[in-house]
Amino acid sequence: MRLTETAAIVTGGASGLGHATARALAGHGAQVFALDLAAAVEVAPVVDSMTYVEADVTEAGQLAAAVNQATGCGMPLRTAVNCAGVTAFAPILSDAGHHDLALFRRVVEVNLIGTFNLMVLAAEAIASTEPLPDNTRGVLINTASIGAFDGVSGTTAYSASKSGVAALTLPSARDLASHGIRVMAIAPGLFDTPMFGMGQATDEIRAAAGATVPLPKRLGHPEEFAQLVIDIVDRDYLNGEVIRFDGGLRLG
């Protein structure tokens, strides 16, 4: 599927994986609507063919307004990428007490329900567009995590939410096939983004983490994630699959 003269939506588009993805989509000819919280949008760099939209993925009304903005740009919406997410570290039981239920709910609300929110709204918009060859109309790409499969201690909320994102992939692809919409997910490993190490990682911590990756022994670059998104958009036969993108890393 070609991106030229189409619209695309990216959540979490003001930083990290989302920003790299939005820039890549814009660079390949799409008119990109990068959704993020107001604080992130205020400091995001200006990029040609990108429009920042203040939207909280947990607020269905804000997402609906953003999708309407994208569909009103005069180009068909063909691509939606869910990159917005939060992380948390909290053991179920610790000396400080038990896992806070509100924290668990918040992580699931953003990572899983927020993803599903955009999927539904974007799918409805994409389904109304004219079909392309092979009766395809567009693609939804979600961000899972290797934590969905190799969750480590203290990440129950995050791992549960990302497992849910991974589990959405196949049934959603089957649901939307008759509408010409593909559904894919990427499960990234350790990537050098502002969220890595919950924003507290030093250069030494980054280097040590990168050394645990079998090959190449480094953290992933957001631009590599973005390129995989472009590859998925371009290859119509990719559908209903979760791609681990982690350099062969398996968390202990």
**Does position 195 have pLDDT exceeding 90, yes or no?**
no
Question: For 7-245, which CATH superfamily applies?
Answer: NAD(P)-binding Rossmann-like Domain (3.40.50.720)
pLDDT-wise least confident of 33-37, 100-104, 200-204, 246-250: 200-204
Read off the pLDDT of residues 28-45 as tens digits, 9 standing for 90 and up.
Answer: 999 999 999 999 999 999
Which among 33, 52, 104, 158 is annotated as catalytic?
A: 158
pLDDT classification of 196: cutoffs 50, 70, 90:
confident
Query: Where do the domains of the chain lie?
Result: 7-245
pTM: 0.97
The verdict on whether 158 is a catalytic residue reads yes
Which SS3 state, helix, strand or coil, does residue 54 take?
A: strand
Q: Spell out the residues 6+ positions from residue 30 whose beta carbon is closer than 8 angstroms to its own.
A: 3, 4, 6, 7, 8, 49, 78, 79
